[in-house]
Amino acid sequence: MTERLARASGRHPWRVLAIWLVVTVAAVGTIGTFLESALEGEISITSETESKRADELLMEGFPPPPPEQDVTEVVVVRSERGSVDEPAFVQRVQRLEDELHEAGATIVISSSSGDNEQLVSADRDATELLVGLGADPDEETVKPLVALVQALDGEPGIEAAMTGEWTSDADFAQLSQDDLRTGELYFGGPAALVILLLVFGAVVAGLVPLALAIVSIVGALALTALVGQMFPLSVFTINMLTAMGLALGIDYSLFVLSRFREERSGGREKLDAIAAAGATASRAVLFSGIAFVLAMVGLLLVPSTIMRSLAAGAILVGIVAIVAALTLLPAVLSLLGDRVNALRLPFFGRATVGQAGESRFWARIVRAVMRRPVLSLALAAGLLVASAVPLLNLDTGSAGPSTFPDRFESKQGLLLLNEEFPSGGVEPVE
């Protein structure tokens, strides 16, 4: 099947390329329209755990206040020069209350708005403000409030920070974007390109796998945007999808492209080389991809929305990467032909261009392993055990502000809250 599909794609490359171009353009439009709303799912446990049942009983016995009175955020303001009772400090906190109301807060509770001494620290150098955001808040709602608190924190003699449900969610989203930008765009992609250039010894051959990975990621993001309209997904779906798309797209392309170059260097005609690669490398890609997707399906059984979101992203990009490797890649190879070896790099990848043969480097390694299988097995097992040793000190737990880098507002707010109100500053009010 894979041979016939590769031969058909190689025989009609412009048709295949046109189809993929239309699909990619449609995918970009879908991403721009639906992706943001698809990634609004909350992190929760889907099974009936004891803690979930306790939350339900708590909600039944102690119904939450109306949305406009519900408190979700905490602002901690500390005086670095004296007591919270000083007139200048009191006036500044009251002005912050007014500013928070003007910025969208529906309720602000402070020590000055009633008999709320619980909102003052034991040494009376800090106070809390409990803030509510109304019926339908989101990450964007909290940003103007965070800006006000950060502006206050920059004033002489005052330290201020904010934390809470929506402050944390906004930081979660920002952390996801930062990790994606740093991990994949600034490191993963460029590092993969350098390795591909060194392996193939040609710029064009090195760019083909990266291009296939990008197409796979774009297509999978569009599918994620559509799936997320029915089943809200976590914002971290993008991180999983991008990482897996980069890995699978490059990996699958390496198989097929290497076999195509090998067949061409052995004297086969272009279409026959594509068909041969389809019969061998593409078949391996198909079964490898199916195994990957089935493994990720297992994550869907975990009763956690974030685990299911990560699994969905991996499954979708795996499927798109398989289809692209079986159809788009043969078409691209048909159009490029031997130009896939264009823009050669000196001293790299020469063994795979112009001559068929095994790699002497890997051949030596394989022969050494075959001569001493027991020793090789022991060395490999020892390396794996050594790599796993750090897991002995692994701390597990739920993600939240305490796990954020210190630069995030919700982390600073939590640190300040725990420092000034170690017994839980908002519990008496709740």
Mean pLDDT of the chain: 85
Q: What is the pLDDT of residue 115?
A: 61
Please indicate, yes or no, if residue 293 is contained in any of the structural domains.
Answer: yes
Arithmetic mean of pLDDT, 138-160: 89
**Nearest to 421, CA basis, from 172, 163, 142:** 163
Q: What is the pLDDT of residue 385?
A: 95
Q: What is the pLDDT of residue 423?
A: 64
For the chain, what percent of residues have pLDDT higher than 90? 45
Instruction: Indicate the pLDDT class of residue 135, thresholds 50, 70 and 90.
Output: confident
Instruction: Return the higher-pLDDT residue of 65 and 225.
Output: 225
Q: What is the pLDDT of residue 341?
A: 82
Q: Could you read off the pLDDT of 276-289 as tens digits, one per residue? A: 999 999 999 999 99
Instruction: Indicate the pLDDT class of residue 21, thresholds 50, 70 and 90.
Output: very high
Q: Could you read off the pLDDT of 59-70 as tens digits, one per residue? A: 788 787 777 778
Element (H, E) at 384: helix 373-388
Instruction: Report pTM.
Output: 0.77
Arithmetic mean of pLDDT, 87-99: 91
Q: What is the pLDDT of residue 355?
A: 46
Q: Are strands 158-164 and 73-79 parallel, antiparallel or unpaired?
A: antiparallel
Arithmetic mean of pLDDT, 341-354: 62
Q: Could you read off the pLDDT of 272-321 as tens digits, one per residue? A: 999 999 999 999 999 999 999 999 998 888 888 888 999 999 999 999 99
Instruction: Indicate the pLDDT class of residue 114, thresholds 50, 70 and 90.
Output: low
Q: Assess whether pLDDT exceeds 50 at residue 417.
A: yes
Arithmetic mean of pLDDT, 242-259: 91
Q: What is the pLDDT of residue 46?
A: 66
Q: Assess whether pLDDT exceeds 70 at residue 42.
A: no
Q: Assess whether pLDDT exceeds 80 at residue 140.
A: no
Q: Assess whether pLDDT exceeds 60 at residue 428.
A: no
- The parent domain of residue 231 ranges over 2-43+201-381
Q: Assess whether pLDDT exceeds 80 at residue 52.
A: no
Number of domains into which the chain is organized = 1
Please indicate, yes or no, if residue 60 is contained in any of the structural domains.
Answer: no
Please indicate, yes or no, if residue 133 is contained in any of the structural domains.
Answer: no
Q: What is the pLDDT of residue 356?
A: 44
Please indicate, yes or no, if residue 264 is contained in any of the structural domains.
Answer: yes
Instruction: Indicate the pLDDT class of residue 351, thresholds 50, 70 and 90.
Output: very low
Instruction: Indicate the pLDDT class of residue 425, thresholds 50, 70 and 90.
Output: very low
CA distances from 277 to 14, 15, 32, 271 (A): 19, 20, 36, 10
Q: Could you read off the pLDDT of 189-199 as tens digits, one per residue? A: 788 888 888 87
Q: What is the pLDDT of residue 353?
A: 46
Please indicate, yes or no, if residue 262 is contained in any of the structural domains.
Answer: yes
Please indicate, yes or no, if residue 164 is contained in any of the structural domains.
Answer: no
CATH number at residue 327: 1.20.1640.10
C-alpha 328: how far from its chain's center?
26
Contacts of 200 (CB under 8 A, 6+ apart): 206, 257, 261, 348, 349, 352
Q: Assess whether pLDDT exceeds 70 at residue 226.
A: yes
CA distances from 110 to 12, 67, 132, 277 (A): 71, 18, 12, 71
Please indicate, yes or no, if residue 375 is contained in any of the structural domains.
Answer: yes
Q: Assess whether pLDDT exceeds 80 at residue 43.
A: no
Q: What is the C-alpha to C-alpha distance for residues 225 and 34, in angstroms, rounded to an integer?
A: 5
Q: Assess whether pLDDT exceeds 60 at residue 243.
A: yes
Q: What is the C-alpha to C-alpha distance for residues 334 and 7, in angstroms, rounded to an integer?
A: 9
Please indicate, yes or no, if residue 79 is contained in any of the structural domains.
Answer: no
Instruction: Indicate the pLDDT class of residue 29, thresholds 50, 70 and 90.
Output: very high
Q: Assess whether pLDDT exceeds 50 at residue 216.
A: yes
Evaluated on CA atoms 159, 164, 166, 168, the torsion sign reads positive
Q: What is the pLDDT of residue 63?
A: 80
Torsion of CA 67, 68, 73, 79, to 10 degrees: -160
Q: What is the C-alpha to C-alpha distance for residues 172 and 139, in angstroms, rounded to an integer?
A: 9
